Amino acid sequence: MVLSEWVILRALLLGMSLLSAAPLAALAPAMAEDAPASSTPEPAVATDARLAGDGERTRLVVDLSHSVALGAFTLADPYRVVIDVPDVVFSLPATSGQEGRGLVTAYRFGLFAPRKGRIVMDLSAPVTIDKAFVLDPMDGQPARLVVDLVKVDRATFLKTVAAPVRSLPDTAAARPAPAAPGDVRPVVVIDPGHGGIDPGAANAAFGAVEKELTLKIGLMLRDKLEKTGRYRPVMTRDDDTYVALGERVKIAREAGARLFISLHADSLSARDGDVRGATIYTLSDRASDSEAQRLADSENKSDMIAGLDLSEEPADVAGILFDLAQRETRNFSAVFARTLANHVESTARMHKSPLKSAGFRVLRAPDVPSVLFELGYLSSRKDLELMTSEGWQSNVTDAMTTAINAYFVAQKPKDGPSGGLPGNLDEAVAGAHASPAAIRP
């Protein structure tokens, strides 16, 4: 089979890689996405949530400003309960869901797609959803979403696990507008990690959340790239909405991206609070070290955290993706990683091993040079102070912009003497210190 046929096959496989689950009909008449539009123009606001019960029966109660439809279903390995609600804005305390009770070890909440809220509960044992309903407001009390869970054996649980559905047409991320005729500027895709129901790393003591930090820096980088007039920046998300890992890759490929930059911020346990610094990752079949493997394992669970069931993803997809990751693409990824490290090191504190590699799902586009930029550690107070400083954010996005300029200047021309880039990029990087990353692969 020729390479082009493999690429087509890979695109088809990616199209099937997003999985959801069908609701339990006995518990809810329809999933949130199938529910009729609410007659209330304003979304419901979730203001409080609490758990009650023990290891045999546990109840989740969420206070809402008005009633909504809901859908509830279970997922296995790990045990989870997913609750979908349309048009809900979560205004819960920052610490909500971090501590479990009874059968629930923790829960998280957020937007799963535009105008679609989701709550995912992690479980300590298999359960059945005994009841799932919403009470109308009454006697000065708010509307209440109630979910009752009862412990069962695994065999009983597996009989009620929702069947995966191989498409999520309503939750696909918005696609960027196509380039205007004659617009030959290279597309740079900026991917703020996590989002919506998937908050990423957090430092609760200082109210810092990875999804918010990466979005803010991503938008700042986008604005600076647009200001140069040399690039067409595309965001995988520009608000607090969840985007599945496969969708992020598809956005880059469909946009014809020449570069993909995924932004993240790591966090370690309290005993590792002294570990700090930025790290730049590229894709590889084997992790460069145990730390890279830990991070890749964590980041690759994003879809599971958001309540997607990946248990029936074809086993050969990962192998095909790796096979299609062309050597030239990986070489260019490594070139940009070195270029970025070289230019950012004067602004950001770098990790003692700033260049690493591992099997990140979000970097698997076979024809788009891609890096994952861990800006620092939210668990490090010094890193946190820097990353949340507007001055640092401005400086690091300036350095990233200069690195992008240097990368495209160093590339072998593709569409003429300047590689199809408008303007004089050599002037843009004039004065920047020379980088060994300018070596062509």
Q: Supply the pLDDT for residue 114.
A: 82
Q: List, for residues 150-165, the tens digit of each pLDDT value.
A: 999 999 999 888 654 3
Give the H/E segment covering residue 84.
strand 80-86
Beta bridge partners of 247: none
Give the residue-averaged pLDDT of 22-41: 42
Residue 415 has pLDDT above 80, yes or no: no
C-alpha 148/C-alpha 143 separation (Å) is: 16
Asked if 72 and 28 touch (Cβ cutoff 8 Å), the reply is: yes
Beta bridge partners of 143: 64
C-alpha 291/C-alpha 3 separation (Å) is: 34
Give the residue-averaged pLDDT of 208-215: 95
Asked if 275 and 268 touch (Cβ cutoff 8 Å), the reply is: yes
Give the residue-averaged pLDDT of 67-93: 91
C-alpha 431/C-alpha 438 separation (Å) is: 15
Residue 6: pLDDT band by 50, 70, 90 thresholds? very low
C-alpha 63/C-alpha 49 separation (Å) is: 6
* β-pair type (202-203, 187-192): unpaired
Residue 39 has pLDDT above 60, yes or no: no
**Chain CA centroid to CA 311, Å:** 19
Q: List, for residues 268-313, the tens digit of each pLDDT value.
A: 876 666 789 999 999 998 999 999 999 999 998 898 888 886 654 5
Residue 205: pLDDT band by 50, 70, 90 thresholds? confident
Q: Supply the pLDDT for residue 392.
A: 96
Q: Supply the pLDDT for residue 334.
A: 95
Q: List, for residues 81-97, the tens digit of each pLDDT value.
A: 999 998 899 999 878 89
Q: Supply the pLDDT for residue 411.
A: 81
How does the average pLDDT of the chain come out, rounded? Answer: 81
Q: Supply the pLDDT for residue 310.
A: 61
Q: Supply the pLDDT for residue 181.
A: 86
Tell me which residue of 102, 99, 100 sits closest to 54, measured CA to CA: 102
Sheet harboring 116-123: ordered strands across?
Answer: 71-75, 80-86, 116-123, 104-113
Residue 176 has pLDDT above 80, yes or no: no
Percent above pLDDT 90 for the chain = 58
Q: Supply the pLDDT for residue 60.
A: 97
The distance in angstroms from the start CA to the end CA of the chain is 27
Residue 34 has pLDDT above 90, yes or no: no
C-alpha 15/C-alpha 276 separation (Å) is: 37
Residue 429 has pLDDT above 80, yes or no: no
C-alpha 270/C-alpha 276 separation (Å) is: 12
Q: Supply the pLDDT for residue 416.
A: 46
Q: List, for residues 351-410, the tens digit of each pLDDT value.
A: 999 999 999 999 988 889 999 999 999 999 999 999 999 999 999 999 999 999 999 998
Q: Supply the pLDDT for residue 305.
A: 86
Residue 178: pLDDT band by 50, 70, 90 thresholds? confident
> What letter represents residue 55's amino acid?
G
Percent above pLDDT 70 for the chain = 76
